[in-house]
Structure formats: structure tokens, C-alpha cells
Structure 1
């Protein structure tokens, strides 16, 4: 059985719309909070962490609710359509609240917008495994992540061309462009993917596959059952798991600090105007996309841990160099390209190490733990780094990132398990990273 790439690309349109939104959220909302409402870095960081706080509660809730939903158009589609519709409405109101400098209205609309995004984020992610046979989900997840990258790059291009100079440009054209992308993407998804019909079709495909490959499927089921028996982790493996989870927290803290504050940092320290900062973020995203396949091949040869360590070193060097960097755009872009490659090296290999260590135990539990640590970092770091930006100096951003990245290197040195060398994957499977 082969993966239907056409169907998977269409399913990935929902993730594309989500990624496009989060790119402008991380880049533009901090500028609004500071330039229009004159909030300090600490308060701005606290508000920027709000989406991750809400996500801890909303993602499991709406994922569970969509599991139990049964409508004519499917169980995920009502959440995707409703969430997108509400999110786009609130997205269009936000620039008006910013222009009027009405902080109360802005906070209310922002909160409603994050609720709307939480409404359909989990159902959108769950749509892929719903409509993809189990043994093809790795390849499918690669396509989904690629679609997300396309959404992020689109948003960065719009930032570059639609954000004008000055402290308070008109952000409505930018928000309208991303809102339009969200509407078009989800409408195409709805019109081309009939959820209930495709679900029945996939079920029939799986049954046909099982009838041809009965013995292989039986063996796979037995292996899955054996692995599903919850057993406590051995002491040495548990120690490695703890150090890996600490590493995940630390490198997310470093990376998220930069991505959240970069639009403000470039204006204050490097005196960039308008959407010029988007160039560096776009370079990092594109470099990561290009490097996934070579990194997958590298990890199959030298192992996951060494690949991650190389990624941490690469990012640490770039963070350290950025401390002394001026407005040399070509050099800044080279540094961000290397950051993108380093981040890809980390993301491609960290979750598989978690899964490898959790074999024979509760893989689902440790998957949740993985996201808990990464999300906790993204709650803490905007506030902590924001406090330093406000109370000390903007120039603390890259020393902050370097310190957390260097600490992640030290904790990874203590990870002794989860480093089996996987067989070389073909093509897109190397993109199989976090949602």
C-alpha cells in the first residue's frame, strides 16, 4: 500500500493555515504590545506565554471532544471549520484594536483568538492519522510538516512586504493576507476531503492490505501489543530520559527566546525598520527544510545523540556570534541559516530518542511528557527573557540563548540511551518531526 500524497497534501492545508498564523503571532504581537500599548518586556513576555498556557488545557480537551463528535461532515471537520471561521474574524479585529490603542479590547480579542485557534488545532492534527493507514503515518507526517513550513514561509514573505517602516505601521494588510490564506486553505480542504467518505475508503484499503499481507500484519500487531505492556523504565534508562527531557526544556527555552523577541531586538539593537527582520527567520526556516534529508542520513550513520550534539554546538556558536553582530545582513542570514540547520538536527532526532527509551513502557505517556517539557519552556522563557530585556538590556537576548543552549549540551552529555542507529529512511520520512 502506498501513501496518497495528493490526499495528504490536502489534509495538510489545515496545518498550513495554523503555521501561518503562529508565525505572525510570534513576530507581530510583541511589536503591537510594546509600540502601541507601551508594555514592558516582562508583561509582553507573560502575554506571549498565554497561548502555551491555554494549549496545555485546550489541546487535550478539544482533541477529546472531536474524538466523540459524529456529524454528517465528519468528527474533525466541524472543529476545523468553526475554529478557522472564528479565528479569522478575531484576527481581522486585532489590527483595529491596535490602531485605536484600546488595550482592554486588544487583550479580549487576543484571548478569544487564542481560544479559537485552540478549538481546531488538535482536530486538525488528528485528521491525518484518522485518514492515513497506520504504517504510512510517518511519511504522511513528513508531508504535514512540510505544509506547515510552507505556511510559515508565506507569513514571513507577507511580513517582509506588507509591514511598513515606523513604530506603528498598519498591520491590517498583513493580517488580512494571512486570514485569507487560512480561509482559502480550509475551504479547499473541506471541498476536496470528504472526511467520512475518505475514512470509509481508508478502512477498505487497510482491509485489502491486511488480506494480502496477513502474516506481516499479525506480526506487527503482536509486536505492538508486546510494546504496549506498561513496564517501569530501568534505572539507567530513566536517568537518560530525565536528562533528555531537561535538554528539551533548555534548547526550547533558548530558541523560543530568540524567535519571540527577534522582531523587537532587530529594531532596538540593529535599527532595522519594517519587516526586514523576517528575512533572517525565513532563511532559518528554509535552511531547516533543505537540511532535513541530509540530517536524517547523517543520523543513520553517526547516531541520534551525536547529531543532536552537533546541532546544539552549531546553534550555540551562532548565538554567541550574534552577541557581537552588527547590521551585516548577509552575515546575520548566514548565522540564521546555520541556526535553522542546527534546530532541524535537534528536532529530527529528539522525539525518536524518547520513543526508543520508552519501548516496552508507556510510549503515549512519554510522548505527552515530551510536549509538556517543550511547552513549559515556551511558557517560562518569554517571561524570564523579557524580564532581562526590560530590566537589564536588549543585548541580553543572545547571551540568554547561548547560556540555555550550552546548558542543553551539558545535559545531553548524560544521555546514554535512545541512540540506536535507525535504518536510512527514504525521502520525506526524514521530515517526521513534532507537530
Structure 2
């Protein structure tokens, strides 16, 4: 029995809360290092604070998925976790810029605890959105559902990135005494927290999850819920499609992490001013890296508007492969080009790949996983996002030193190779007969 088709705005409301979550993530990504520096953290120790996000994701997302798979309340199956996580996330966003005053003799410790608190709550809020789309949508609409999520994710990234600038333009001070967080950052966190809570409330009020009997009927589930296997058994029986997608995920996320880590040192002393042809200063290069990082979510938003239609015609995997090839070309362009404005062009290809990476694997996976275990497997699938980043984080220094004699620019070429391998592995996945979504 097929699930009823949902309208565009019903699909939009299923993921609307993701917009607020991503604004929170964007604020965190853009400002965490500067906040901890203001609290007295040594620059050489900043990377340790960044481990909070992937570690929290690895622990929390599978657990939330497992628990939400077996949760049935008046609010639904996933919504209670989304709503509870959003409330805690809002509190964490309000506390973060105030960490210097919460414990004056150890503000860095307080900041670290709040950061961990924030990452845990973000993951609790975010994880059920992936499963909610799969729960509520018919197979023919799942790709559209994840494409809408991709659009909202990138829109949230842009909004979160520009909020501090908007605060400054509105006259909020961007200066602060030593050991304090500037007002323009603090107000951005407050506004971001309010948006997060409001957008999640829209999803909580508008999303009407199927009750257990109806869900079982739509998904042909005959066994009672009490016979659900444990986490260890589910981990041992990971669907083959997830393992194959994991190969593609490893190379694509490794490529992205290389860019996030090495773009600034890669173009410092190399990129030239478009007007004069002279090398940009270190400060100007840092500013331009911020511009480049702010560009790729824009083409990702635009690409997301078309991915669903193209995938409906050509299939999920061919579209996935093409987006990854665009990313490989983009990374190669970053490695080759030197003019500051010319470097903006490759970010278009990377943005298209980013859109594909955020949408296509989840659309493919949702068609290959048993509906009753959707939550836990979506959580386990997060391993394929986190592990490549940890691996590159631990080995990147040795690679750039031993393989490239300290030339950070070569890491962009390595990123291009990784993204090409991701595209090739996606072709291999497409030929596998075991994937349930093969006909899609």
C-alpha cells in the first residue's frame, strides 16, 4: 500500500526546522575559534575543541535513531526528539556567548562544556529529520524531500554566516574587552537560537506522523514492535547498500575536509590581486578564503532546486555521479588557478557537489533500508561523514609533510583525486544489483 502523496509545502514543513538547526551550526562553525581565543585558548589547541562535533555525532545520532524507531507518542515518532533537542539547543546558543561570566575563574572550561552541550543537542535535533522524510514520503517523493532539505541546509548556512555582519551593519558593536565575546556575535547567537526554535515549532505543529498501525500498513510490517532487534544486531546486519555508499562517502567527505583545512595555506602566497596582479597579503588572503567559503552554498541552493526534477528523469545515482564529477573539476580548478576572482568559478562546481552529497546518498539509502529501522541506520550512516574527517584530521599533517614536502596547495589536488574516486565508486555502486533503489 503506497503512502499518500504530499504537497510541496507539506514536504517543506517536514524539513523546515532543519533551516534553524543549520543556522545554529553555521554560527558555531564561523565563530567557535574566535570565541575560544577570546576565552584564552591557545591557537595550537583549537583543533581539540573542534573534535566535539564529530565525536558527539558518532555517539548521539545512532542512539537517537534507535530510540526514535521505537518511540510512538501523540506528537509522533521523530518530532519529540526534534522538539526536545531544539529547546536544549536554544539554551546552549544563549549560554555560549555568556560563558565568560558564568564561571569567571574558568571560562574556558565552561565554554568547552557548553560547546559539547550544544553539539549533543544539535545532533539530537538534526538526526530525526533524515528519518522523518523517509517515514512520511512515498518512494517517488523521497528524493524531492532530501533535495528540499539540501536547499534549507545551504540557506541556513548562508544566514548563519552573515548574521554577525548584519548585526554590525545594524550598529551593534564588534569590539569587546579582553576575555569577553563581542556583542555582534552574542546577538547573532540569540537570534539564531530564536530562529531555530521557531522553525522547529513549525515542523512540530505541521508534521503529522503516521500512527503505528498506519505506518505498519504503508510499509507492510507484520511483526510486533516488541520483536525489534538490538543495536548490536542491527550493526552486524547493515544493509549492503549502506556499505557501498560508505566508500563514496569516505572519498567525498575526505575531499571536503581537505578543502576546509588547507584552502587558506594553499592559496597564501600564491593567489594574486585581480586588479594589480600582485600577491595578496596574508590578511587579504584570509578575507578572500572567507569569501570563497561563502560562495559554494549559493550554487548548492540553486542546484537543489533542480536536482529533484533531474533525478526523477535520470535516476538518483547518475545525478550523484555527475555532481561529484563537478566537485572534482572544482577542486582541480582551485589547484590550478591563481587569480582571486578566477578562484570563484571552481566554487560553483564544489557547490553542485555539496548539493549532491547532502541529498543523493540519503535518497538512495532511504530506498534500501527497512522502514522500521530507518532512524538507527540513518544515525549509523553518519559514521560515513565523521570517520573520513577524523582520518584526514589525524593523517593530513603527515601527508602534506611526507608526500608533498609541506606544499599545502598539493592537498587541493589530492582533494580533486578523492572526489574523482568518489564519483567512480558511485558508478560502481550504481551497477550493484543489491540496492533496492536500483530502478530509481
TM-aligned CA distance change 1:306 to 1:22, over 3 Å: same
Distance verdict in 2 for CA 1:203–1:357, change over 3 Å: closer
Name 2:95's counterpart in structure 1. Answer: 93
Q: How many aligned positions are there?
A: 393
Please tell me whether the aligned partners of residues 84 and 120 of structure 1 are also in contact (alpha carbons under 8 angstroms): yes
Are residues 62 and 389 of structure 1, via their aligned partners in 2, closer, same or farther at CA, if it must alter by over 3 Å? same
For residues 127 and 374 of structure 2, what CA distance do their matches in structure 1 show?
A: 19
Map of 2:225 onto structure 1: none
What is residue 60 of structure 1 aligned with on the other side? Answer: 62
CA distance in 2, matches of 1:261, 1:141: 29
Residue by residue, what CA displacement relative to the aligned partner does 1:177-202 show, whole Å, maximum 9, x if unpaired? 3542443453354367447x934xx5
Partner of 1:249: 250
Structure 2 residue 389 is matched with structure 1 residue 378: yes
Q: How many Å separate the matches in 1 of 2:109 and 2:319?
A: 47
Query: CA, structure 1 residues 263+32, in 2 after alignment: closer, same or farther (shift >3 Å)?
Result: farther
The corresponding residue for 1:336 is 347
The CA distance in 1 between the partners of 2:376 and 2:78, in whole Å, is 23
- Which stretch of the first structure deviates more once superposed, 245-254 or 117-126? 117-126
CA change 1:400–1:125 in 2 (3 A) is same
Q: CA deviation at 1:151?
A: 1.5
**Aligned residue among 414, 418, 421 for 1:403:** 414
1:432 aligns with none
Change (3 A) 1:321 1:419: same
Paired residues for 1:205-220 under 5 Å: none
Deviations 1:111-165 (A, max 9, x none): 1222222332334444445555666444333333322222222112224444759
* Correspondent of 1:110 among 110, 115, 119: 115
Alignment partner, residue 10 of structure 1? 13
The within-5 A match list for 1:240-319 is 245-259=246-260, 270-272=282-284, 277-292=289-304, 311-319=323-331
Partner Cα distance (2:77, 2:244) in 1: 39
Give, in angstroms, the shift of residue 406 of structure 1. 0.5
Q: CA deviation at 1:340?
A: 0.7
Matched, 1:322 2:334: yes
> Paired residue for 1:183?
194
1:418 corresponds to = 430
Match of 2:154 among 134, 149, 154: 149
1:158 maps to 2:186? no
Asked if the contact 1:319–1:402 (Cα under 8 Å) also holds between the matched residues in 2, the reply is yes
CA deviations on 1:377-409 (whole Å, 9 max, x unpaired) are 12333444477899999x855532431430442
Measure, in 2, the Cα distance between the counterparts of 1:118 and 1:256: 19
Q: Would you say the 8 A contact 2:330–2:416 is kept in 1?
A: no
Q: Determine the structure 2 residue equivalent to 1:19.
A: 22
Counterparts in 2 of 1:264 and 1:183: CA distance versus 1, 3 Å: farther
Q: Using a 3 Å threshold, how does the CA distance of structure 1 residues 341 and 319 change in structure 2: closer, same or farther?
A: same
Pairwise CA RMSD: 5.0
Task: Work out whether residues 310 and 319 of structure 2, in 8 Å CA contact, stay in contact via their aligned partners in 1.
Answer: yes
Matches within 5 A, 1:63-78: 63-69=65-71, 73-78=75-80
Q: Distance in 1 between matches of 2:195 and 2:333?
A: 41
Q: Which is worse superposed, 59-68 or 331-340?
A: 59-68
> Taking structure 1 as the reference length, what is the TM-score of the superposition?
0.68
Q: 1:252, CA displacement in angstroms?
A: 0.4
Tell me if the contact between 1:7 and 1:193 (Cα under 8 Å) persists in the aligned partners. no
**Aligned mates of 2:382, 2:90 — CA distance in 1:** 27
- TM-score when normalising by structure 2: 0.68
- Cα distance in 2 for partners of 1:123, 1:274 equals 36
Kept in 1, the 8 Å contact 2:167–2:184? The answer is: yes
Hey, what's the Cα distance between the residues in 2 that align with 1:124 and 1:364? 9
Contact 1:49 1:380 in 2 (8 A): no
Question: Structure 2: which 5+ residue stretches go unaligned?
Answer: 169-173, 222-239, 270-280
**Contact preservation (8 Å) 1:84, 1:116:** yes
Distance between the aligned counterparts of 1:149 and 1:37, measured in 2? 32
Whole-Å separation in 1 of the counterparts to 2:108 and 2:363? 43
